[in-house]
Structure 1
């Protein structure tokens, strides 16, 4: 069975996309219906695409203004070129998000499987209940970074992986590999390398502090 169709892989993706949208007390999250879960995930994808395209549009305008409103100097041209390149990168990111949205009917169909919904809700409720503890663990290994400075979806990727390792007895290698696969879909090259590095530092940290655990 290909990884994209494995129930827990789909559950992680559904949990990642729903986490920032699902509100309520942790003990009530288990009662969230499937349609609310999938709607939350769709809203996250829509918001991500909209925000990315708006940022790309602003970069194009800045580059255009710099080219045509100021004296054309080498530094101006180089700066404008950089802005437009950044805008193209952001546009590609938005296109990738749209490609993920096109695949979403498959996720919804698979989400009807009992195992998918149950594990997605287990991830969401675990992160919600233990968020303070998870964030403290992550802050410890985020060298020169603060968790709140990361993109929201990157924060949630890290939280899901840490929740799996600490509380759901998922093998470290599996949790890290799954987080990296999600980052490849919903982040960029730097993003998935960053996620991988943080989680590997986290596992080393817990081994160092719990050598017999």
Structure 2
């Protein structure tokens, strides 16, 4: 069963893809420039859909080849089991890719809606305009790391979530969960777990800071 995508999740994804196109530490853009960034992000999604379908087809082909080898080349039962397991994993990977590919047309269609565009632009503007404050807050909760050393995709996911938490009044839990879901798609297992931990430390730090202020 497939579920309708949430407009704001699409906005976050478009903002992430748009930020990936920005070189350096730009802090201000004209509305036309922002719109061009979002348009380029949508085109990236369109291209990605074709790439995903091609990758899924290749995985299905490799899965079929593994199954054939298990029948005619396996030296023993254990070898056959191993080949079948490999075939199953490849097939699972192809199915996961296809699920995402099926969602893409809806994502692209919703990207043109005013609500989605408006929040996408708000995210990009906030991240760019408040970059120093966002990075300062994130660096304060990083353990044995510095933000500049992280992969750009992970930095931008963290910045989007931090922008929501610090300046856009989005509930902490919502921002963290959305950041983790996006990281699962664009980062790796280590990346999304790291992002989850950083954002949880950030919200805990903010909670303690608020409690301290309230008690004084």
1:5 is paired with a residue whose SS is: coil
Q: CA deviation at 1:125?
A: 0.4
1:128 corresponds in structure 2 to 128
Query: 1:3–1:9: 8 Å Cα contact kept in structure 2?
Result: no
Deviations 1:151-197 (A, max 9, x none): 11110010000000110000001100100111111112211111110
Structure 1 CA distance, aligned partners of 2:26 and 2:118? 18
Partner Cα separation in structure 2 for residue 150 and residue 130 of structure 1: 19
CA distance in 1, matches of 2:197, 2:26: 32
Whole-angstrom distance in 2 between the partners of 1:6 and 1:130? 25
Structure 1: stretches of 5+ with no match in the other structure: 50-91
Residue 38 of structure 2 corresponds to 37
TM normalised by structure 2 equals: 0.66
Which residue is 2:196 aligned to? Answer: 196
Aligned partners of 1:3 and 1:183: how far apart in 2? 19
Q: In structure 1, what is the equivalent of residue 138 of structure 2?
A: 138
CA contact (8 A) 1:154 1:183 kept: yes
1:112 counterpart SS class: coil
Aligned residue in 2 for 1:80: none
Q: Secondary structure at the match of 2:170?
A: coil
Q: Distance in 2 between matches of 1:3 and 1:178?
A: 16
Indicate the residue corresponding to 1:87 in structure 2: none
Question: Aligned equivalents of 1:142 and 1:97: distance in 2?
Answer: 32
CA deviation profile, 1:7-59 (whole Å, cap 9, x unmatched): 1111011111111214696443433465541314555987xx9xxxxxxxxxx
**What is the count of residue pairs matched by the alignment?**
170
CA contact (8 A) 1:42 1:101 kept: no
Q: Alpha-carbon deviations, 1:117-159, whole Å to 9, x = none?
A: 0000000000000001100111111101111111111100100
Task: Give the TM-score normalised by structure 1.
Answer: 0.67
Tell me what 2:109 maps to: 109
Superposed CA RMSD: 3.3
1:102 Cα deviation after fit: 7.3
Residue pair 1:11, 1:117 contacting (<8 A) in 2 also: yes
Tell me the SS of whatever aligns to 1:210.
helix
Is the contact between residue 42 and residue 111 of structure 2 (CA under 8 Å) also seen in structure 1? no
Distance 1:33 1:7 in 2: 18
Matched-pair contact (CA < 8 Å) for 2:42–2:108: no
Q: 1:172 to 1:40 in 2, by over 3 A?
A: same
Distance 1:3 1:174 in 2: 18
Q: Would the aligned equivalents of 2:127 and 2:159 in 1 still touch at CA under 8 Å?
A: yes
The structure having more radius of gyration, on CA atoms, is 2
3-state DSSP of counterpart to 2:29: helix
Question: In the superposition, relative to structure 1, how do residues 110 and 194 fare at CA in structure 2: closer, same or farther (>3 Å)?
Answer: same
